[in-house]
Amino acid sequence: MRIKLLLALAVFPAMLSAQERVTVRGRVVNGQGESIEYVQLGMPGSGIGTISTADGRFEIEVPSDTLEFHHVSYQTGYYPVSGPADDVVIVLKDSELPPAVFIGGNTKEKYLLRPGTRFPGAAGGFDARDGINKGTEVGSVAKLRKPFLIKDILFTITGNRIPGCVVSINIYRIEGEPREFINILHRPIYADVAVSDGIQDFDIQPEESLLLEPGSYYISFSLVDCDMDAVRRYQETPESERTPTDMQLYTNIYFKSSYYRESSLAELKYVPINIGISVKGLEYQ
């Protein structure tokens, strides 16, 4: 059973569903003209979104509205859609990194987040047999009472048959009511997942210092890229020649508070299950 089947899909608002859509193609670059990889773009909360390729290129069908471009290392960019467009160039400005914060006092090693109780006999993950919704995201919620410095983010892939699979880890602070999810990263966290029928354990140590203040956080796992040529080849393969696990990534499923979204910048929906992310580090006393 896949998460794609277990979880409810985001529902398009009626207004956006009824509007005629046009195709916008282009590239996202920084101030030096260099391509920016894996930029989230779309219309937040609408269910319309995707992620740019590793060389910053994108193609999306949207109504006449404003496209937003999000990347943790840059300020948000905007593009007003008035009709079909090719070769659009979006320039994102660098974000200013916050000053380093140092806290004195004693610390102790601790897990901020553990997977929870395993869902017996269930597996989840991502399904690319019909193409992929880049930005599909699922994770777990952690609550802090004391400052916490993240040292390791751990997760396990139990099998992957999606060539060129790249995933990202995102960390959001949850604020307000209704809930607002604020990404606190300033440098992206990516991991390449090899094609394998075996178990792959990942232990990611973030490059930036991630000191979390007391509060609630959403730590998620997102699919940002795969080999689209491989997807097309799979779709052109006669059904009798396909194997059941082709173009799918698998993880275990656990009972724990989580949120899920079907595509980039779509609304996050609460679900009671997750794919088993663990986070450990130092808790300040």
- Give yes or no: residues 130 and 19 share one domain: no
| pLDDT above 90: residue 100 | no
Q: Give me the CATH number covering residue 19.
A: 2.60.40.10
- Give yes or no: residues 172 and 244 share one domain: yes
What's the CA gap between 43 and 41, in Å, rounded?
A: 7
Tell me the residue length of the chain. 285
- Give yes or no: residues 278 and 150 share one domain: yes
Residue in the block written with tokens 């930005």? 135
Q: Give me the CATH number covering residue 258.
A: 2.60.120
| Helix, coil or strand: residue 127 | strand
Residue in the block written with tokens 């999606």? 162
Q: How confident is the model at residue 101 (pLDDT cuts 50, 70, 90)?
A: low
- Give yes or no: residues 24 and 164 share one domain: no
What's the CA gap between 250 and 275, in Å, rounded?
A: 9
What's the CA gap between 245 and 127, in Å, rounded?
A: 9
- Give yes or no: residues 47 and 123 share one domain: no
Domain residues for the domain of 85 are 10-91
- Give yes or no: residues 16 and 126 share one domain: no
Task: Report pLDDT digits (tens) over 144-185.
Answer: 999 999 999 999 999 999 999 999 999 999 999 888 999 999
- Give yes or no: residues 192 and 83 share one domain: no
Q: How confident is the model at residue 4 (pLDDT cuts 50, 70, 90)?
A: very low
What's the CA gap between 130 and 138, in Å, rounded?
A: 19
Rounded percentage of the chain residues whose pLDDT exceeds 70 = 92
In terms of Cβ atoms closer than 10 Å to its own Cβ (0-12, 13-18, 19+), residue 220 is buried
Do the domain assignments include residue 48? yes
- Give yes or no: residues 172 and 78 share one domain: no
- Give yes or no: residues 251 and 134 share one domain: yes
- Give yes or no: residues 72 and 140 share one domain: no
Task: Report pLDDT digits (tens) over 33-81.
Answer: 999 999 999 999 888 999 999 999 999 999 999 999 999 999 999 999 9
| Helix, coil or strand: residue 35 | strand
CB of 136 within 8 A of CB of 125?
no
Number of domains in the chain: 2
- Give yes or no: residues 48 and 173 share one domain: no
Q: Which helix (H) or strand (E) holds 235?
A: helix 228-236
Which residues are paired to 148 by β-bridges? 212, 283
Q: Which of 106, 81, 95, 103 is nearest to 25 (CA)?
A: 81
